[in-house]
Amino acid sequence: MDPQILASLVMLIAMEVVLGIDNLVFIAILSNRLPEAQRQTARRIGLGLAIGLRFAMLAGASWLLTLTEPIFSVLGLSISGKDMILIGGGMFLIGKATVEIHHRVDPEAHHQPTLPAGGTARFWPVVGQILMLDAVFSVDSVIVAVGLVPQTWIIVTAITVSVLVMLMSMDALSRFMERNPTMVMLALAFLVMIGMVLVAEGFEVHVPKGFVYSAMAVACAVAGLNI
């Protein structure tokens, strides 16, 4: 019951929940492309694998920290393993969000054949994409957590609580996005922005997270007023 330890726990839980919002939006958009009967299962499996992945990263925290060491230099810029993951993940996120935006604004896309029960995507590829993006977000959050808090049990508790929060809010968020298609477009725009931030971080251009989240909060407030 040490106040300092409790403060660290609360801070880390809040950080993990905030960092998990990006992941949550991505999972909601991807899973809503599946047939209705498969959506909840895909979310559960994706988040279950995600928590396992984060614990595996935490177990190999000493190796994970070596990813911050430079591997090579390009035009005087040192690139580490973490940078390569952020750049690759950010480019994947930009590409995936751009494809989803194109699918929603292109009239021809709506005439593509669909799977039974209204789905337009396949189960395991969707789960794989959920896991891939979670790996990108996990690397950054676990490295930050290990750097902030020395007690492993605090990090484990924070990760567990954040995933439980995601599980409890996942279905409600997905239903909300189904009912409000304009919010899906806004979320996809956020994903493009987050992907650009990840790529910038990979090239050692640090964008203050407060600016990013402030912009997202204002955009959500305006969208809420429109609704």
Please state the separation of Cα 108 from the chain's center in Å: 29
Type of residue at 101: I
With a cut of 80, say whether residue 116 has pLDDT above it. no
Burial of 195 (C-beta count, 10 Å sphere; 0-12/13-18/19+): buried
Burial of 150 (0-12, 13-18, 19+ CB in 10 A): exposed
Please give the pLDDT value at position 117. 47
Average pLDDT over residues 58-76: 73
Q: What three-state secondary structure class fits 91? A: helix
> Each residue of 117-135: pLDDT tens digit?
455 567 888 888 888 777 7
- CA-closest candidate to residue 209, choices 8, 9, 15: 15
Render pLDDT for 188-213 as a digit per residue (tens, 0 to 9): 888 888 888 888 888 888 888 788 87
At position 79, the amino acid (one-letter code) is: I
Q: Which of 101, 89, 81 is nearest to 200 (CA)?
A: 89
> What DSSP character marks residue 206?
P
Is the overall model pTM greater than 0.75, yes or no? no
The pLDDT of residue 62 is 64
Q: How confident is the model at residue 70 (pLDDT cuts 50, 70, 90)?
A: confident
Average pLDDT over residues 9-27: 77
**pLDDT tens, residue by residue, 79-98:** 888 788 788 878 888 888 88
Structure tokens at 164: 């439980």
Residue 143 has pLDDT above 50, yes or no: yes
Find the range with the poorest average confidence among 92-96, 110-114, 172-176.
Answer: 110-114
Cβ burial 9-29 (10 Å sphere, 16+ → b, else e): beebbebbbebbbbbbbbbbb
User: Minimal CA–CA distance to 160: which of 9, 29, 31?
Assistant: 9
Give the single-character DSSP code of 69.
S
Q: Is 106 helix (H, G, I), strand (E, B) or coil?
A: coil
Q: How confident is the model at residue 115 (pLDDT cuts 50, 70, 90)?
A: very low
Q: How far is CA 168 from CA 12, 92, 165, in A?
A: 19, 27, 5
DSSP strands (E only) in the chain: 70-74, 77-80
Both structure tokens of 71? 């591997």
The 3-state secondary structure of 188-221 reads: HHHHHHHHHHHHHHHCCCCCCHHHHHHHHHHHHH
